[in-house]
Amino acid sequence: MKSPTPKSPGSMPVAYHIGSDGAPLQPPFDAAIVIPTLLRPSLAQALRSIFAQQNVGRIHILVGVDRAEGDIAAINPIFQEQPDNCVTTLVNLGYSTSTRHGGIHAAGDGGALRTILSYMANSRYVAYLDDDNWLAPDHLEKLLTAIQGHDYAYTLRWYVDPATLKPLCVDRLESVGPDAGGYKDSLRGFVDPNCLMLDKITCLAVLGLWSVPMNGDDTFLSADRRVFAALVQQYRGGPTHTPTVFYRLNERDKGYAKRLEWIAQQSNKNAGTQ
């Protein structure tokens, strides 16, 4: 199973699989990871962190191109590093599904891609990763353990300095889980998509919400909050109690200043206990 030779966008297949020759596709995978991407250079680090997952079995990686900020051919060499237990399905529609880039679905962070790729995933257990973040080697292992007996599972995340890529502290402010953290009162908590795993059969009704931001959100970047609001109200979640996601801070994010302030407070607290 090989990727095709890169061609002009109009002649590229909409989707193709990248994996070792003879890798089976029909038997369901042990886990899947969905990545909406703009083809930023950081995608390489995200993919390598999936390739490095331990004690999982077979992994289905689904990469969906929203709008290409980079050259799609540039990512091909990365797949030379892909281990035999992984198969990547690369989806490039040739257009964006997001209104942010001229499409018709309101979600500004990928339009309908998370929904589409979640349905395409050939695994009951679907996790998510943005192309500027990366995972600890035990991320999927811990989520698969936590989801047993539950409808979804969630892990914690590290706030990461975008310049040095150094973990700053564990996020206890935002992505903390049900009825906890800074969103406890307004949303009954929150979990970042990067920290989630869904049993997509049990949580089937949630998948379409990835393309629907919250009412009144003029940034159109709150579909993840809508998804979690549905999860916390209707489904059972299992925590890992462990940070396994490295979340790169972005100064363009609405909550960037608040995050820096909170991180500084945690640093001061830690300094005071030494």
Q: Please give the average per-residue pLDDT across 171-178, as a whole number.
A: 96
User: Would residue 3 count as lying in a domain?
Assistant: no
pLDDT score at 274: 53
User: Would residue 259 count as lying in a domain?
Assistant: yes
Check the CA dihedral 227-54-58-130 and report its sign.
positive
User: Would residue 179 count as lying in a domain?
Assistant: yes
- Give the residue, 108 or 80, on which the prediction is more confident: 80
- Rounded distance between C-alpha atoms, residue 127 and residue 172, angstroms: 21
User: Would residue 4 count as lying in a domain?
Assistant: no
List the domain range (segments joined by +) for residue 117: 9-272
Nearest to 146 by CA among 137, 158, 155: 155
Q: Please give the average per-residue pLDDT across 33-57, as a whole number.
A: 97
User: Could you read off the pLDDT of 233-245 as tens digits, one per residue?
Assistant: 999 999 999 999 9
- Rounded distance between C-alpha atoms, residue 84 and residue 102, angstroms: 37
pLDDT score at 271: 62
User: Would residue 220 count as lying in a domain?
Assistant: yes
pLDDT band at 272 (very low <50, low <70, confident <90, very high): low
Report how many domains make up the chain.
Answer: 1
Place of tokens 């990469």: 63
User: Would residue 225 count as lying in a domain?
Assistant: yes
User: Would residue 207 count as lying in a domain?
Assistant: yes
pLDDT score of 10 more than 70: no
pLDDT band at 7 (very low <50, low <70, confident <90, very high): very low
User: Would residue 93 count as lying in a domain?
Assistant: yes
Q: Please give the average per-residue pLDDT across 204-222, as a whole number.
A: 86
Nearest to 227 by CA among 203, 261, 199, 259: 203
- Rounded distance between C-alpha atoms, residue 52 and residue 54, angstroms: 6
CATH number, domain containing residue 97:
3.90.550.10
pLDDT score at 11: 56
Residue 157 tokens read as: 């995340």
Residue 128 tokens read as: 């998510």
